[in-house]
Amino acid sequence: MKKSALQIARAAYQPKLPKALRGAVKISEGAATQSVADQEEIQKLFPNTYGLPSLTFVESTEANNSPVMNAGVILSGGQAPGGHNVIAGLFDGLKTMNPENKLYGFLLGPGGLVDHNYIELTAEIIDEYRNTGGFDIIGSGRTKLEETAQFDKGLEILKKLSISALVIIGGDDSNTNACVLAEYYAQINAGVQVIGCPKTIDGDLKNSEIETSFGFDTACKVYSEVIGNIERDCNSAKKYWHFIKMMGRSASHIALECALQTQPNICIISEEVEAKNLTLDEVVNQIAATVATRAANGDNFGTVLIPEGLIEFIPAMKNLISELNDFLAHNAAEFAMIKKSAQREYIIQHLSADNATVYASLPEGVARQLTLDRDPHGNVQVSLIETEKLLGEMVARRLSEMKKDGQYNGKFAPLYHFFGYEGRCAAPSNFDADYCYSLGFNAAMLIGAGKTGYMSSIKNLTSPADQWIAGGIPITMMMNMERRHGEMKPVIQKALVKLDGAPFKAFASMRDEWAKSTAYIYPGPIQYFGPAEVCDQATITLQLENASK
Ligand code: FBP
């Protein structure tokens, strides 16, 4: 296969590992852990994997001789830069433990385990994918692993291939499923360990022990490069308002990080909208007010960042979506029979009065998008909702009212963008290449130590890689009970933007200035070769969070 010059140069990059993982390791056990909330219920549901200690690997002088074993790996959910390096690190870790060890990859996500679709990942295959973006080495998928029948079906192929450990690389939902699977296999004495790895560009799988999910760094740097380019275009032509929707299903971490990197005129943070109980009209009025202020200074241009999950954080919309989720989960078959032209009316008739009023007020397109199929985890597919257009059109309407009242006298020409898929498979930054390789290598060490129900954890990430701390965190520690598909379920708690956290505070202290003046920053493309301050910087979010600890 023909390769670009950068691909060839990148293939030779040797990712950095934490010092403790460069030779033989031994485990230092922390105190017993408990879940972040709902301890009694979680403990009851996970009797075998609850309360385990957190683990840290430290250097050892004794060689780690381990018997031959086989492992399996699954990529689950949305792509995130660095997934291939997790697999490469896992492969190298397994081979370090015993060169006879084998690694199998299940194809197209968790479905590959259930349907027995797999390949053996040989050194030749792995070498083709080192330091590359994408998940195409084995593909990904969103099949939810939650039924005992699926676990048993999976066990058949694991036994057939003599696989005694499975690594699931995924986001909060997939790691929740990894934990359920670990518990089940422990309970039936299946002889299969399950280890999770924290993946998602959304950056919402993090907590006191997991500093960031992989892929967030690269994706934000790719988006920030393009936002910077748009800002420069915008500041050159001085005639457009750019409404840019940023991926991130729920939390606004991506929008916030990109705002810190590029200093746009406006960035909406969904979590703040919810905390202030803002209505859609209030959000629109705020944007329109900034457009008017800039116009009064002769600046009929600007950039607005909008997190894709915004709609679910506007309290009235949140209530509506929550009722719609329950309603559609219980009436899917009947709804599917309704003619498209009658669906809106059908929904209005079946919702409670308040929600029906909100639903009826929505533009046709958005109303339809809210009833589209949920993803397998029951989430609304917010990436399909054109929030940027909804806001842009509402701002235009508001500005024409303001014009009539003499409060605005400018030109408003909006342009719309959505940055999501173009960042998910980018070649990983040095940070993600190193972090992912370490996560995978570390997962192999957890397997070697006989652990199950743990998430691979690499900490101290704003220090140079040799000072990173490697270990394992019991997945049950991250769990609480939440309503899903109309039922209470144990799930990993999603990390939303904290309004008292350092990244939001830094943003809030500067945003009024960014709104008025034109203070754009142009980050430029990710650099792989050159000085460490250009190539190896962690995200601003991570730097601010770690500095505030
Ligand atoms: P994960 O949580 O699985 O990592 O996926 C994140 C994400 O990229 C979201 O930002 C986005 O809303 C969603 O996936 C899009 O899903 P799909 O890839 O199915 O279109």
Residue 441 clears pLDDT 80, i.e. is over it: yes
Nearest atom in ligand 1 to 77's CA: 3
**Alpha-carbon gap, residue 245 to 304, rounded angstroms:** 8
User: Can you say whether the dihedral through the CA atoms of 434, 438, 441, 443 is positive or negative?
Assistant: negative
Mean pLDDT of 255-268: 98
The whole-angstrom distance between residue 445's C-alpha and the CA centroid of its chain comes to 25
Average pLDDT rounded to a whole number, residues 318-322: 88
DSSP label at 401? H
Is the model's pLDDT at 463 over the cut of 80?
yes
Tokens standing for residue 384: 């399909």
State in Å, rounded, how far the first CA of the chain is from the last one.
47
- 321 compared with 169, residue with greater pLDDT: 169
Distance of CA 415 from the midpoint of ligand 1 (Å): 24
The answer to whether the beta carbons of residues 526 and 195 sit under 8 Å apart is: no
pLDDT tens-digit map of 336-376: 899 988 999 999 999 999 999 989 888 778 888 888 877 76
> Across all residues in the chain, what is the average pLDDT?
94
| Closest atom of ligand 1 to CA, residue 205 | 2
Q: Find the 491 Cα to ligand 1 centroid distance in Å.
A: 17
H helical segments located in 253-339: 253-262, 270-275, 280-296, 310-313, 315-330, 332-337
Specify whether the CB–CB gap between 227 and 419 falls below 8 A: yes
Task: Provide φ and ψ at 384, rounded to 5°.
Answer: -90, -10
For ligand 1, the distance from its centroid to the CA atom of residue 143, given in whole angstroms, is: 13
CA–CA separation, 468 vs 214, rounded Å?
Answer: 15
Q: Show the domains of the chain with their CATH numbers.
A: 15-215+428-484 (3.40.50.450), 219-423+500-547 (3.40.50.460)
**What interhelical angle do 216-237 and 430-448 show, nearest 10?**
170
Buried b / exposed e along 93-120 (16+ C-beta atoms within 10 A): bbbbbeeebbbbbbbbbbbbbbbebbee
Residue 24 has pLDDT above 90, yes or no: no
User: What is the distance between the alpha carbons of residues 436 and 217, in angstroms, rounded to a whole number?
Assistant: 11
* Ligand 1 surroundings by CB, under 6 angstroms: 77-78, 80, 171, 200-202, 247-249, 308, 382-383, 424
Ligand 1 pocket: which of 176, 177, 202 to mutate (most atoms within 8 A of CB): 202
- pLDDT score recorded for residue 308: 93
Q: And the tokens for 431?
A: 């940070």
DSSP letter at 21? G
Say if residue 377's pLDDT is above 70: no
Distance of CA 69 to the CA centre of its chain: 31
Mean pLDDT, rounded, for 325-331: 86
Residue nearest to atom 7 of ligand 1 (CA): 78
CB 331 within 8 A of CB 294: no
